[in-house]
Structure 1
Amino acid sequence: MTDTAIAGDIDVSGGPNAAAEELKRRVEDTVLEWRDRLVATSHDLHAHPELAFEEHRSAALVADLLRDAGFAVEVGVWGQDTALEAVYGSGELTVVVCAEYDALPGIGHACGHNIIATAGAGAAIALSRVADELGIRVKLLGTPAEEKGAGKAHMLEAGAWEDATVSLMVHPGPGIVVPTAGSTSQSRDRFRVEFTGRASHAAAAPSVGINAGDAATVMQVAVGLLRQHLPDTVRVSAVTLSGGDVSNIIPATAVVEAEVRSFDLAETAELKKKVLACVDGAATATGCNYAVTPVDPIYEPLVQHPFLADRFDAALGHRGRVMTPRDGGVLGGGSTDMGNVSQALPSIHPLIGVMGSTAAPHTAAFAADAISPGADDAIVDGAYALAAAIVDLATDDEARAEVLGRQRTRAPGATRRPAYV
């Protein structure tokens, strides 16, 4: 792309970099101009948490924000009632910014999705103000059910990213700034095991019963013993959802939900086989039958686009955030359906620190921190860094050509990855 193509009325006397810096200054000004509205929306989302696929109020709130910024907005898209799409501009390079807004049962926004949604909205709004100069089309996707349900996997299959050149979002964490490039996340396979036995009176005829609750217990013990022999980089967890109603009836059914995680998809599949061997052993030991069904689509590992990752991190430096080297080069122990998107097209899913927070995500303490002053700053810094990374991408001839080339050579339907495999 030529200087004149990106610059419009921007002074480019200092060369292409000067044009990019001026556009980033405008992006930053826009984010700061919208700060109060973004923070108010974040706090509103936090005060009204909604669970996976139930985020009707949250989706409407984010939709109103984008409409007020001049986007064409539609709620209830790509097969999901609580998904939204907001579009601005008509350039050749389509940037898809993801906004999550689902909460966790019992502890609300303990993963900070209120921050994710509003940082994403802030980035999209900022980019819309320079879209013509950059030759980009900005599309914000509100993606439901990240915590449980893999909303992005379903939306991918429906075609939500078929027009996308790149996709990005930002995720909050405790107050530390870590490099994005080279980081990843764990794949995750979550499934449900239902054991079936035979009910009987626990005192009058216990020998007639086949105790499905015992099968669930044996499975949990076997999985616990298995952990000793697993690598430190994998995770197995399970919870018994039901295992009987009253003590004087031998339970005929029991349900266990389990998940396995690894940074490698093939290793995740092998790990699942080991857990299913525990299931089979539990059924054999107790005389039960069992059935295994998927709970969610598989969450795939993240692939961070190097250029976007580097430019995002540099933008955080501009906002005064000092980078701390990451141990092991991975996002420790987490999984996200953004991994599925990153397997389909160039993407980033960096972390933004909630300064002052030392709490682990998915705790009540982090839920409280998600509306702290550090959380409000994370919205602004995250929005700016996402938008600045796109400015750098769109104004760098080589980087722009690389992502557009990948889009042009992508086979039709290539992003429509099956949700369940």
Structure 2
Amino acid sequence: MEALTGTVDRVHSDLISISHEVHARPELAFEEHFASALLADALAGQGFAVERGIADLDTAFVGRSGTGPLRVAVFAEYDALPGIGHACGHNIIAAAGLGAGIALASVADDLGLTVEVYGTPAEESGGGKVLMLQRGAFDGVACAGMVHPAPFDVVRTRTLALADLAIRFTGREAHASAAPWAGRNAGDAATVAQVSLGLLRQHLEPGQQLHGIVSEGGTAPNVVPAAAELLYYLRADDAESLGRLAAHAEDCFAAGALATGCTHTVGEVSPAYTELRSDDALAAAYRAAAVAIGRSPVAPEYERLVPLGSTDMGNVSHAVPSIHPLIGLETDGAVTHQPEFTAAAASESADRAVRDGALALAAAFAAVAEDEDERARLVTRAAHGGGSDGGGR
């Protein structure tokens, strides 16, 4: 821990500067050119071999240091939200991931590590990690992790499986006063679908959610809308439950089209996100490291009670032993995806979260690397192509 602490403290001012620069220039999914270049340049400056534009994604990258058999992946997210910037604190994720990678690189030879810091775009919408996973970017990685800011510390974060859908209704224009009978109202189709979804809520299974917006609903009050669009998220405890919810939701979308004489299509905006799995050994090591530096994570028996969202890290965790702990900061009651959280993500408390997150994450990976049994499990598993081994749920 002492060597890791010394390295994190050495680059601390640079990490905070990077966090603030990313925060000040929010970029949306797949458009994170400034943040991606800033982080990649910082890694190159620390001696990492950097490859940009990996997995056919312009704003994805990987920086590598060390040549050991245990390949450790640290993830940096940096996309923002429309209108409210870094209200999920991805600037903190980026800087903490960078710090963890640099710290691990300083002990890579002693611990037999290959340290890989991945820039992963489009977590909020777009599924950057899913695309990178599908395209082989993480093949051979033994374990992976990142930290995410929140109003509290949680080690074994629980997230929901997610479907990100766009539903388009197509009707026919007509004069809304002179000849409404000649039209087919796509806006009404969207309304009927939303009413149906609202009624469906009474019958949702525990853990299932749905919420959305009308992204298109017409052009003028005196023109029957020929096109309308809904953007909806469906969430559930796991992929199986999500599949059942999706079937019910599709009936609601179809009901809107049927009732109004319109047609409809349902498309994915992003690849589906799966629920998150936390690796037992990595989670235990992270908890010990967080407590050692003065953090107070939620007790394990209460972790399932913490409010949750969804992340494309879930997909990675089904293929690679992973952790995705929450790092707490002071928010005065604000929660993620609120403008007040955006402000908190560049505060002194956020700066402490960058340091502590980098150090705890690096220490967790180092502890597992020093444990002969866990090290052998991870190296062997990676050599045999990954897949779920039941090591962590």
Contact between 1:185 and 1:336, CA under 8 Å: does it hold in 2? yes
C-alpha contact (below 8 Å) 1:184/1:330 kept by paired residues: no
Q: Does 1:152 align with 2:129?
A: yes
Normalising by the residue count of structure 2, what TM-score does the alignment of the two structures yield? 0.96
* Aligned partner (choices 361, 364, 376) of residue 401 of structure 1: 376
| Letter in structure 1 aligned against 2:247 | K
Measured in 2, the distance between the counterparts of 1:41 and 1:150 equals 24
Shift of 1:137: 0.3
Aligned match of 2:391: none
Q: Which runs of 5+ in 1 are unaligned?
A: 1-23, 416-421
- Cross-structure match for 1:223: 197
1:4-403 matches, cutoff 5 A:
24-174=1-151, 176-178=152-154, 180-181=155-156, 183-325=157-299, 327=302, 329=304, 332-403=307-378
Whether the aligned pair in 1 keeps the contact of 2:158 and 2:308 (CA below 8 Å) is no
Q: What is the aligned residue count?
A: 387
**Cα-to-partner distance string for 1:207-252 (whole Å, 9 max, x where unaligned):** 1111000000111111111112213422101211101000010011
Compute the displacement of 1:357 (Å).
Answer: 4.3
Deviation at 1:331, TM superposition (A): 5.2
Does the aligned pair in 2 maintain the 1:185–1:331 contact within 8 Å? Answer: no
2:365 aligned counterpart, secondary structure: helix
Note if contact 2:76-2:120 (Cα within 8 Å) is conserved in structure 1.
yes
Q: Take 2:267 and 2:298, find their aligned partners in 1: how far apart are those partners?
A: 41
Distance 1:109 1:287 in 2: 42
Distance 1:406 1:339 in 2: 18
Decide whether the 8 Å contact of 2:331 with 2:340 is kept in 1: no
3-state SS of 2:232 partner: strand
| Per-residue CA distance 1:15-69 (angstroms, 9 max, x = gap) | xxxxxxxxx2100111111111000100000000000000001101111111111
- Aligned CA-pair RMSD: 1.4
Distance 1:250 1:135 in 2: 67
Gaps of 5+ in 2: 389-393
Shift of 1:355: 3.1
Residue type at the aligned position of 2:56: G
SS in 2 for 1:329: helix
Name the CA distance, whole Å, in 2 between partners of 1:303 and 1:328. Answer: 13
Q: CA–CA distance in 1 between the matches of 2:27 and 2:305? A: 29
Paired residue secondary structure (1:78): helix
8 Å CA contact 2:170, 2:186 repeated in 1: yes
Report the Cα distance in structure 1 between the residues aligned to 2:285 and 2:195, rounded to whole angstroms: 47
Runs of 4+ with deviation above 3 angstroms: none
Contact map agreement 2:166 2:266 (CA 8 A) in 1 = yes
CA contact (8 A) 1:192 1:257 kept: yes
Query: Could you tell me how far apart the structure 2 residues matched to 1:342 and 1:357 are?
Result: 32
- State the TM-score, normalizing by the size of structure 1: 0.90
Task: Work out the CA distance in 2 between the residues paired with 1:243 and 1:85.
Answer: 42
Shift of residue 77 of structure 1?
1.2
Please state how far the C-alpha of 1:323 moved relative to its aligned partner. Answer: 2.8
Report deviation, 1:407: 1.2
- SS of the equivalent of 1:321 reads coil
Distance across 2 between alignment mates of 1:222 and 1:360: 30
Q: In the alignment, residue 337 of structure 2 is paired with which amino acid?
A: H
State the identity as a percent.
46
Q: What letter matches 2:14 in structure 1?
A: R
Paired residues of 1:185 and 1:330 also in contact (CA < 8 A)? no
Code of the residue aligned with 2:333 in structure 1: it is: T
Deviations 1:155-183 (A, max 9, x none): 11111100211111110001x223x24x4
